[in-house]
Structures are given as C-alpha cells and as structure tokens.
Structure 1
Amino acid sequence: MKNFTIAIVTALSATAYAFRCTNLTVPVNLSARNVVFNITTPQNNVEVTNLILDLTRQGGSFVEQKVQGYAAVHGNYSLAATYCTPDEHGPNEPESSNRKRSLAVQILTHGLGFDRSYWDLPYNGGNYSYSAVATDRYGYATLSWDRLGVGMSSHGEPINEIQAWLEVDGLRALTEGLRHGSIKGVPRFDRVLHVGHSFGSTHVYALTAMYPNISDGIALTGFSQNGSFVPYFALGANFVDVKTIPLLAPQYDHGYLATGDLSAFQANFLGQEQFDPAILAFTATIGQPLAIGEILTIGSETASLNTFSGPVLVVTGEHDVPFCGGSCYNGAPPNSSIPAQSQQYWTITSISTIIVPGAGHALNLEYSHPFTYKCINEFFNQNAKA
C-alpha cells in the first residue's frame, strides 16, 4: 500500500470560508441492465420488517430466489446538483491565474441515508462543510449531486428501477458532462476527480471498473470490499416505511425505507464519543430514505476486478459498522484489513489507505472531519496533479 505525507494529528482551524455555489438541475439520459425482482412492495412497517429479516437471514438466499431475470432500463431523468468554486485561486491553481477558476473538479457522491447536503452540512456555521474546504482551502471546484431516486433528483419505482447500476450511469453522465462542458453554467474540466461516501463510494468503484479512463483520481470514504457486514447495517437501521415519517412521506412512495429513530442512526453512522450530541437531532432534518432496489443491488458493484490505474485513496473510520463490523483492525482473512482486501480487487498496488481513529461510518458528521477532509485533498494535491 502506498502512503502519502500527512500528519495524523493535524486539524484544520475554524475558518470563515469564501466560496460560491450554484444549484443546478442536470437533464440526463440514462440506461442500465437492471435486475427484475419478484418482490411485493411493503405497505407498512410490519411488512418492511419482514423484508429486512428475509434479506439478512444467515445462510439465506432470499435475493437469488426473488430474481426473475434482467431488463434494460432507460429514460430521461433530472439530477439535482450543487456546483461550488473558490472565490480566489487556491493551491490547485497557479498564483498567476486571474480567472478565479479551478483546474480540477471533484464530483461528490453521497451514501445511503443522505442527500448532497452531506458534503455541505448546514450545521455549526458551515464548519462541517467538505465543499468549503475543498474549494476555499485547496482551490478545487466541487459538484455534489443527489443520487438518482433521492432528494431533488428524479424519483422512480423503488424496486426494479432505482437500483445501483442506473445510479452509476448517472455518475457517468455527470462526469462526461464536466469533461465536455455540456452542463449548463459549468465550464469544461480537463481533470475530474471522484469522492464517494459509502454507497457513493461503491458507485465510484463500479464507475472506474467499467470505465478505467474516466477519472483522474478517486477517494473512497466509508468503504471497504467486505460486504459481509451489510446485514448489521440493515438490522441496526430499524427501517420503517417512509410513509410513517412526516417530513419524508409527501416526497416518497411505499418501497422507500427510512431509518427508524435517532438511536438507530447513531449505531450505524457514528463512532462512540466522536460526535456532537446535537448533531443527532440535526440529522433528522436532512436524513433521506433508500429505495429497496438499492439495498438489493448494493453488493454487485464491487464484485469485479478494477483495472483503474489512477490514484486511489480509501478512508474509513476505525469503528465503521457496515464495512468493518465495528472494527477495521480485527477482520478475518482474506478481509483481515482494508489494505489486504484491496489487493484482491485492484490490479494496481499503489492504493493509499487511512483508518480514522475512533471514527464511525459517517465521517463528515464527526469531530474528526477536519482530518478526513485534509487527507482527501492533500492526497489529490500530491497524487492527482496534471
């Protein structure tokens, strides 16, 4: 595993950030080979719980039994996004530049349970904002987006339409739009970097496995190749029918599942004593549901060998539940560690890995977020320059 230079004790001081953001709606034409599942959409919490028990039963083959076949899904969709740029040039741009424009853009893909606000949390005066750090401190542009089916992006049928691979095609469309300059209001970029969290990281992995030349560097946060702990996440979430959540019910149909309570959110996403207790209540205002089709197809994205040869960084919390079972240092072979796992799935050996001490799964919500943000951007500065 490759290392890059960064001090683990370094933290970013609180700063009044200067960056500009524009909300966008990006029309895209997407297609994917989706799985056709013979699953009845749950209509209440009892049926939701029964589905989760079927999905997580040890030694079970529920998903395989419910596969009827495959179907091509294609159509026109809208992806909600936020494009941010620094007010002044940063370390990523020559000091002589008067354009006040970044030379590289980071596409930010959120995970399950969130929308694009994960990257620019409206909490504590913006001090948890990843976009603020990447733009104002490091000079990158960022494009965060609501994954297909979530937030302000197009929604769809939650079992056989909103699945992992159709969302990956959304990421492809945005990437190509940035390279070609075809996204209205956003300039063309020669360098496109990808940052993901959790399900967003598996999308980035799948994208670069399919198109090895599509990215100039990737950072996978809240990620590993070990999918054996996803049942922990599914059971720990105490999932409920989205129609029982007043804030979300008007926006989503049956077939979307929401985290049942704040304790469930804490168990799945936050390391012990690693977060401001007040942020738990805040998450109830920004939390988003997942589509059943997403959880049915989550494991398929990282099963193939990845021949992407660009810079790769994996950043995962020491006590990440869905990808490490709560301990990233105590896995059983061949998943004894994240570096050991990476050797099995990547054809390159220069993968950098960082385990954030004490942290859980939602790295952007924890006290250690300044360290995480610094790790990602310093890595790109050192390894993904033109």
Structure 2
Amino acid sequence: MHIATIGAWILATGLVSAKTCYNATVPVPVSARNGVFDNLSTPKNNMEATMFSIAATRQGGNFTEDALTGYATVSGHYNISAQYCMPNSSASSNSSQPVLQILTHGIGFDKTYWDLPYNNFNYSYVDYALSRGYHTLSYDRLGLGNSSHGDPKSEIQAFLEVEVLAQITRSLRNASLSGIRTRPSKIVHVGHSFGSYLTFALSATYPDLSDGLVLTGFSTNSSFTPQFVAGSNFQQARLDPSIRSRPGLNYSLGYLVTSNMGNVEYTLFDPPHYDPKILAFAEKIKQPVTVGELLTIAGLPQESKFSGPVLVMAGSNDMASCGGNCTATGGASESIPAAAKEAFPDAKTFSAYIQPNTGHGLNMHYNATGGYKQIADFLGNQGLSKNMKRLR
C-alpha cells in the first residue's frame, strides 16, 4: 500500500555527526484485529491508574483475559512522525542501495531514544550506525509523540502498531516513500523493549519483510512484567508536570506515564553506571504507554518462523527483561535473553549478548557505544552491511 508524505521532508543537517536527516509526517492507512476490553473502564484519574496497575499485577490472575470481551477490526489513516538519516557522504547519491535500519522505540520514549540530543549526541545510536555506513528510519510509535494519538484502550494496541510497522517497511522497501528515492538493498529491524516485541511480532507475522533482527531490552521471560508495571507507578500522563510542560502533547485519560524520576531510575537504569544528569534528562523527555498496549503485549505471537539472523541484547542488570540479573537462570540457559532462541526455530543465526553495567535503557548508560559496536559487528558478520547483495 502506497505511503506518501504530507508536505515536504524537512532537512536537518547534524553539525556534530556529519549526517543528513529528513523529518516528515507520513500518513499510514492500516487495519488490525484489536481486542475489545468492555469489562474494563479506562482509568479516569491517578487513583484509578493505580487500581489498574494493582489489578494487572495481582498474583494468580489474568487481567487481560478478565477484561477481554471479544475482538473488532480497527481501521484508520494515521500520521506517523518519522526521521530518515544518512551519512553526509551518501546524501547526494541515491544509487548506493544502503542497508536501512528501521528503529522502533520502547515504552517511556519516542523516536529521540535512538538519537538522544544529550551531551553533544554522544549517546546517539543513529550517529554510530551512520558511521558504519547504514541509513536509519526512526519514528514515533502510533499514539505517541508527534504521531497520531487515539483511544488509549480500544485503538492504540500492539496489534495495530505491528501493522503500522509493516506498512512503513513495505513502503521503504519499495522506494515508495515520497522524498526518499533510495531503494535499500536490505532492511534490518532494530527494536527496544516494547519496540522489540513489536519487531518480533512483525517477523512472526510477515517474516519476509526483514533481512535481520536486533531486539534490545528483550527476553521471552514475562515473569518480570508485573515488576516493571509496579515499579513504573503509572499515573495519568495528562496530569504529569513533565508532559504538561511540553506544548502539543495532548494525551487523553488512559495514557499512563511513570510517576517520577525515581520510577524512571528503577525501571530503566543501573546505578551507578550512568551520568546522573541523563536520568533527569530521561524524566524530562519521558513518554507514556496506553492501557491498550499494556493489555495486548502478551497477545503477540510467541514464536517466529523468521529465517534470517537474530541478535537479542539486554543490559546485565535489565530489570524489565531479567528482573535485574540477566545471568540468574538457575542453569536453564546461558542468560535469560539467550532462552529466546527457542522462539526462533528457523533463524539462520541466533546470538544473545549481555551488555555489562547496563540497565533496561541501554542507550543511556556510560558504555552505550560498546553495545552499538556489538550490534554493528553482528550485522556485518551476517553480511548485513552496505553495498552487499541482499540475503534473500
């Protein structure tokens, strides 16, 4: 399905990183079979937001199943805020057929997670990828940031977001995204946290859309999800001082955000292995999650027949993926993320990497670029680097 841009791409040249980036609003027509949760009322205040978290984390229960009353097709034309970046060396040439990385952010962030405007962009994953010859496309997930918002219970769910990612991928692969004339030789999907689960679901639903997967802040062990939800202390985003201080972010009730900087630290960071000022920065730029996303993440596919290379990566002390210790497996596997290999029975190559001295927000720790090197080296070793023929 064709995807065109609204207006022109806006040129943004990075002065510190020798890159050229184009910002755009991309209209995406999508349809998905979403869950209907008529047994649950959308939280209308902070007290009800806390009640939602209590019910979602109660031992022995199945909150999603209790709330679910059926399924319904949700369709719409949504505007997605995206940024396409390339090295300056290739900005004037559209014939190089680069390897393109599509970057999907997780809960608590928008697309700036991949290109953090902090400390002269020293933590930028985009800058590192471009230095290795890649092009990147990052975007605000549906419902968040500058992308279209929607009903936080019935509309903004994981199922619809997977379809958005699929449509964007098809458009880029077919060189039908207006303003981007370069046809990529290969496409690698890179995700973080919830974005990794969406990426995993994409590979399970449409395995031919990707040439390689990098899933960061990811494991197939859901034991720690209640810990993440409780530790977030979710409150209404529209009532949060950090959200309210940013013009244009008009979130309705049912968009939930971590309560304060202490909750951000608990869920994303590994003390003391980060700049204390970046914690305050994370609080300043934080983004919400919808009740629909929290209700549907467990409904995504549990196995993928994707046959390309897969890298799963987590911080050694990733609370959300590993309960704070990714090597505490009781001997069941080398690490908690390594157990994800069973979910990829047909993968050409599967590798799990544990980044030392790092929490769930990998891109915000002192050794972030060490993790970036692991990703680039893995992709290069799998033939997923620029100017090489597509694997499939």
Report the TM-score, using the length of structure 1 for normalisation.
Answer: 0.90
1:347 matches 2:345: yes
Residues 28 and 164, structure 2, Cα contact 8 Å, conserved in 1 = yes
Q: Within 2, Cα distance between the matches of 1:348 and 1:318?
A: 27
Report SS of the residue matched to 1:228.
helix
Q: Within 1, Cα distance between the matches of 2:210 and 2:63?
A: 35
**Aligned with 2:158 (options 156, 164, 184):** 164
Report SS of the residue matched to 1:125.
coil
Go from structure 1 to structure 2 and tell me whether the alpha carbon gap of 1:377 and 1:107 turns closer, same or farther (over 3 Å shift): same
1:209 matches 2:204: yes
**Shift of residue 102, structure 1, vs aligned partner:** 5.4
Q: Within 2, Cα distance between the matches of 1:321 and 1:185?
A: 40
2:47 aligns with 46
**Shift of residue 246, structure 1, vs aligned partner:** 3.3
Q: 1:296-342 CA distances to partner (integer Å, 9 max, x unpaired)? A: 11122242x21101111111001111110111111357577336522
Counterparts of 1:77-226 in structure 2, within 5 Å, are 77-88=78-89, 101=96, 103-135=98-130, 137-187=131-181, 188-226=183-221
Deviates more, 1:192-201 or 1:100-109: 100-109
**Aligned with 2:324 (options 323, 326, 336):** 326
Q: Within 2, Cα distance between the matches of 1:148 and 1:172?
A: 13
Report SS of the residue matched to 1:265.
helix
Residues 102 and 140, structure 1, Cα contact 8 Å, conserved in 2 = no
**Shift of residue 262, structure 1, vs aligned partner:** 0.4
Go from structure 1 to structure 2 and tell me whether the alpha carbon gap of 1:163 and 1:98 turns closer, same or farther (over 3 Å shift): closer
Residue identity (%): 45
**Shift of residue 139, structure 1, vs aligned partner:** 1.0
Residues 202 and 302, structure 1, Cα contact 8 Å, conserved in 2 = no
Residues 214 and 312, structure 2, Cα contact 8 Å, conserved in 1 = yes
Residues 242 and 285, structure 2, Cα contact 8 Å, conserved in 1 = no
Q: 1:278-304 CA distances to partner (integer Å, 9 max, x unpaired)? A: 01111122110111100111122242x
Q: 1:320-377 CA distances to partner (integer Å, 9 max, x unpaired)? A: 1111011111135757733652232111362011001121000001111111111111
Q: Within 2, Cα distance between the matches of 1:343 and 1:127?
A: 32
Q: 1:197-230 CA distances to partner (integer Å, 9 max, x unpaired)? A: 0000001100011111110111100001111101
Question: Where does structure 1 differ by over 3 angstroms across 4 or more consecutive aligned residues?
Answer: 97-102, 332-336
Aligned residues: 364
Unaligned runs of 5+ in 2: 1-14
**Shift of residue 84, structure 1, vs aligned partner:** 0.3
**Shift of residue 99, structure 1, vs aligned partner:** 5.4
> What is the one-letter code of the residue matched to 2:18?
A
**Aligned with 2:305 (options 304, 307, 332):** 307
1:55 matches 2:56: yes
> What is the one-letter code of the residue matched to 1:218?
L
Q: Within 1, Cα distance between the matches of 2:178 and 2:94?
A: 19
Go from structure 1 to structure 2 and tell me whether the alpha carbon gap of 1:298 and 1:333 turns closer, same or farther (over 3 Å shift): farther
Unaligned runs of 5+ in 1: 1-14, 91-96
**Shift of residue 251, structure 1, vs aligned partner:** 1.4
Q: Within 1, Cα distance between the matches of 2:231 and 2:19?
A: 37
Q: Within 2, Cα distance between the matches of 1:67 and 1:339?
A: 30
Report the TM-score, using the length of structure 2 for normalisation.
Answer: 0.89
Report SS of the residue matched to 1:52.
helix
